[in-house]
């Protein structure tokens, strides 16, 4: 099998925090809930509004 693609540095940082015994269970819960929200939210259209359009 081919090697897995390189992991995004932000994802690596989150994984390190999730296995760090010095990070509280409450913080780990918050990280997991945020990841879950982002993973399952609807995909934004490719030609969606630009950040500058959101303010108008």
Tallying the residues shown for the chain, one arrives at 56
- Check residue 50 and give its pLDDT: 62
DSSP string across 29-56: HHHHHHHHHHHHSPPPPTT---HHHHT-
Running DSSP on this structure, what letter comes out for residue 24? -
Asked whether the predicted pLDDT for residue 53 surpasses 60, the reply is no
pLDDT tens by residue, 5-41 = 899 999 999 999 999 999 999 999 999 999 999 999 9
Place of tokens 């982002």: 38
Q: What's the CA gap between 1 and 25, in Å, rounded?
A: 36
- Check residue 49 and give its pLDDT: 62
- Check residue 54 and give its pLDDT: 55
Task: Indicate the domain borders of the chain.
Answer: 9-40
Asked whether the predicted pLDDT for residue 55 surpasses 60, the reply is no
């Amino acid at each position: 099998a081919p090697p897995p693609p390189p992991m995004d540095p932000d994802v690596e940082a989150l994984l390190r925090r999730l296995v760090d015994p010095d990070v509280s269970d409450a913080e780990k819960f918050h990280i997991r809930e945020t990841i879950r929200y982002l993973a399952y939210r609807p995909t934004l259209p490719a030609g969606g509004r630009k950040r500058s359009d959101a303010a108008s």
